[in-house]
Amino acid sequence: MSLATLAPAEAPSHTVTLPASPFPLNQWYVAALSSELKDKPLGRTLLNRPVVLFRLGDQRVAALEDRCCHRALPLSDGTVEHCGVRCGYHGLLYDATGQCIEIQGQEKIPSRARVSAYPVQERDGIVWMWFGAPDQAEPLFDAPAYDIHSSGKYVYGGDVYHYQAPYQLIHDNLLDLSHLGYVHLKTIGGNAKIHMNAEMKVESDDESVRVTRYMLDSEPPPTYTAAYPFKGRVDRWQEIEFRLSHILIWTGAVDVGTASMDDPQRDGFHMRGFHGITPETETTCHYFWTMATNPVGDVEGIRAKVLEQTIMTFDEDKVVIESQYANMLRCGKKPMIDIHVDVGANKARRIIELAKSRSGA
């Protein structure tokens, strides 16, 4: 889906002023996948803020504080109409700016009958919400594009997980794919020794981390052989790009010796993952994911197979991460050592701390 924003004349006139935040501000965070917004309001807590998202009759997406200003029922318990969302308690109707525009049986609407509205943009099948510092309620730049979804070169699907764990533990997991050989033996894993000893390069600046790993002349894992007609052993890659609000991961393989790992247009089997990790609270988070692939035949069959394998993989990760966090709470604040595979994750944590200080969070 192409960029869809509120028109300037209709932009939220009462945006949110956030209190001190434990999260980086002045950022776009993933609030939903486009496919989630249909004919009902969607309630969600994002960065400690209760939010309701809904799609208007003209297909624009709006985001408001999830609270009726009359008696505080969540607006997500109400209904969506062409021009807004109606409270399910006494029927107050709110437009995309958060203004109450109708009270049944009452002609005059109090000027204070409104709730906070959030800037929102929908791009390439992803709904983003701006969370600004107290002095920066309006966006400084557009939400990220992701043309993997819209280019026509890939087919994809996705879903949302809710984690009982802090969001940065998911960053750690995704930036360190050496765990594949232990956690994901039945899907995208493969030989654990090869994963732990893979050639790895880590690059970073003040806003991003890039981790590149190569496993040349290796056995393809089960997901790969189920989805692509490899002739035997493969040259395999993992390219991970960390941003504050999301991570992009391009993994795949070609038959041994048939393509350069430096060629961005290389053929073979591709899995391109989008991972939007948005804090719910300090100890819980939402994980919005999509997986795109490039079938050479049986497009829908391969798409379904890759998504099935991806879900199995992410289910395995969720068990590990939530168990990890539960044990951290049980054992208390004890030191943890770092090993060679932790370089990318540690750099990402430093970027988050820098962003928090810059935004006054």
**Per-domain residue ranges of the chain:** 30-118, 148-359
Residue 179 pLDDT: 61
Find where tokens 């390069």 sit: 201
Helix or strand (DSSP H, E) at 354: helix 343-359
Mean pLDDT in residue range 180-206? 66
- Asked if pLDDT for residue 11 goes beyond 50, the answer is no
Query: Which residues does 152 contact at the CB level (< 8 Å), separation at least 6?
Result: none
Interval 217-232: pLDDT, tens: 988 888 888 889 999 9
Single-letter amino acid code for the residue at 258: T
Alpha-carbon span 348 to 360, nearest angstrom: 18
Residue 134 pLDDT: 86
- The pTM assigned to this predicted structure is 0.89
Eight-state DSSP code of residue 178: G
Interval 132-150: pLDDT, tens: 998 888 999 999 999 999 9
Q: Give the domain 30-118 fold.
A: Rieske Iron-sulfur Protein (2.102.10)
- Alpha helices (H) in the chain, listed in sequence order: 167-175, 180-183, 192-196, 222-227, 299-331, 343-359
**Residue 163: beta bridge partners?**
285
Residue 15 pLDDT: 44
Alpha-carbon span 201 to 189, nearest angstrom: 20
Topology match between the domains 30-118 and 148-359: no
Give per-residue burial for 226-236: e unless 16+ CB within 10 Å, then b: ebbebeeebbb
Q: For residues 68 and 75, is the Cβ–Cβ distance under 8 A?
A: yes
Helix or strand (DSSP H, E) at 286: strand 285-293
Residue 198 pLDDT: 64
Residue 193 pLDDT: 55
CATH number for the region 148-359 comes to 3.90.380.10
Largest separation between any pair of C-alpha atoms in the chain: 75
Q: For residues 193 and 226, is the Cβ–Cβ distance under 8 A?
A: no
**Residue 86: beta bridge partners?**
79, 93
Q: What is the dihedral of CA 98, 103, 107, 109, to 10 degrees?
A: -30
